[in-house]
A = this chain, B = another copy of it.
Amino acid sequence: MPQEATAPSARQIELLEAAYRYALAHGLADLSLRPLATAIGSSPRVLMFLFGNKDGLVRALLERARVDELALLDRLGRAGQPIGLVPAVERVWAWLAADEHRPLLRLWAEAYARSLVEPEGAWAGFARATVDDWLAVLAACQPQPERDGEAGAARRTLALAVLRGALLDLLASDDEPRVTAAVRHQLALLRG
């Protein structure tokens, strides 16, 4: 059984990719093996074989979603030297507000909330992990004197809060102009 600790096979990657597209469209909450399998042209038997059990599948899907997330974060940290919190927020928001990322972000919100309520099982630690991921990247964007110390931690925590709070609003209201105006307002405040 390929399951884990071994490199995923070509077939495994192919089916995971298909299942990921399905999850983006239908959500993870009431994901069920049979409907998923028929939708992606497979069978529950094969999914069990490749991922061990349903939890393994969900874990693989969450990791797959995290890859998309880290791809964004990576582009931020790529710069040789820290760009500062304000440009970082600016760029991240442009990414979050883009229409084509809506399904991914809905999936993210779903996984985040679920991992808060049910801290065991496949969802375990998802929320906590993304908080740490983002704070680390934002820290890397801060210049050196600011980065350390509690004030710096408060500043990047605040930046993260604004981004995520605005995202929640956007996902529910779809009122991009109003929410983007709010983010811009914050950027103006931060610039002083």
Judge whether A182 and B154 touch: CB under 8 Å.
yes
For residue A178, which residues in chain B have a CB less than 8 angstroms away from its CB? 150, 153-154, 157
Judge whether B179 and A168 touch: CB under 8 Å.
no
Interface size on A, residues (CB 8 A): 48
What is the oligomeric copy number?
2
B-facing mask of A103-115, CB < 8 A → 1, else 0? Answer: 0001101101111
B-facing mask of A139-173, CB < 8 A → 1, else 0? Answer: 00000000000110111011011111110110111
* Interface-lining segment among A34-42, A47-55, A72-80, A183-191: A183-191
CB distance from A36 to the nearest CB of B (A): 15
Judge whether B118 and A172 touch: CB under 8 Å.
no
A84 at the interface (CB under 8 A from B): no
Judge whether A169 and B116 touch: CB under 8 Å.
no
For residue A172, which residues in chain B have a CB less than 8 angstroms away from its CB? 112, 115-116, 127-128, 130-131
Main secondary structure of the interface of A (DSSP, over half): helix
A27 at the interface (CB under 8 A from B): yes
A29 at the interface (CB under 8 A from B): yes
| In the bound complex, CA of A189 to CA of B162 (Å) | 13
A181 at the interface (CB under 8 A from B): yes
For residue A112, which residues in chain B have a CB less than 8 angstroms away from its CB? 109, 113, 168, 172
CB distance from A162 to the nearest CB of B (A): 5
Would you give 7 A-B contacts (Cβ < 8 Å), ordered by A?
Answer: A110-B114, A110-B117, A158-B166, A161-B169, A164-B165, A165-B168, A168-B168
